Copies of this chain bind each other. A is one copy, B any other.
Amino acid sequence: MQKEKSTIIAHDQEIFIPNISVDCIILAFHGGRLKTLLCKFKVSDRWMLPGGFVGKDEDPDEAVLRVLKERTGLDDVYCKQFYFFGKKGRIKPDENEEMLKRFYVAPSNGHQSPNRYISLGYYSLIKYGEAHVVAHEYEDVEWFDINEIPPLYADHSEILNTAIQTIRKQIGFVPVGYELLPEKFTMPELRTIYEAILGRELDRRNFQRKMLSIGFIQPLNETRRAGAHKSPNLYSFIKDKYEYAEKNGIQIMSNNF
Q: For the complex, give the distance between the alpha carbons of A81 and B19 in Å.
A: 19
- A window 32-78: CB within 8 A of B: 54, 56-61
- Interface 1/0 per residue, A116-135 and B, CB below 8 Å: 10101000000000000000
Q: For the complex, give the distance between the alpha carbons of A59 and B165 in Å.
A: 22
Q: Does A221 make an interface contact (CB < 8 A)?
A: no
Q: For the complex, give the distance between the alpha carbons of A17 and B17 in Å.
A: 12
Q: For the complex, give the distance between the alpha carbons of A61 and B85 in Å.
A: 10
Contact among B56, B83, B170 for A116, CB-based, below 8 A: B56
Q: For the complex, give the distance between the alpha carbons of A169 and B19 in Å.
A: 31
Q: Does A108 make an interface contact (CB < 8 A)?
A: no
Interface residues on A, range: 20 to 34
Q: Does A199 make an interface contact (CB < 8 A)?
A: no
- A window 242-257: CB within 8 A of B: 249, 254-256
- Interface 1/0 per residue, A158-183 and B, CB below 8 Å: 00000001000110110000000000
Residue of B nearest to A22 (CB): B86
Q: Contact at A61–B83, with CB atoms within 8 Å?
A: no
Q: Does A103 make an interface contact (CB < 8 A)?
A: no
Chain B residues lying within 8 Å of A114, measured Cβ to Cβ, are 17
Residues of A within 8 A of B (CB): 17, 19-20, 54, 56-61, 81, 83-84, 86-88, 114, 116, 118, 120, 165, 169-170, 172-173, 249, 254-256
The 6 closest A-B pairs by CB, nearest first: A60-B86, A59-B87, A84-B84, A255-B255, A59-B88, A20-B118
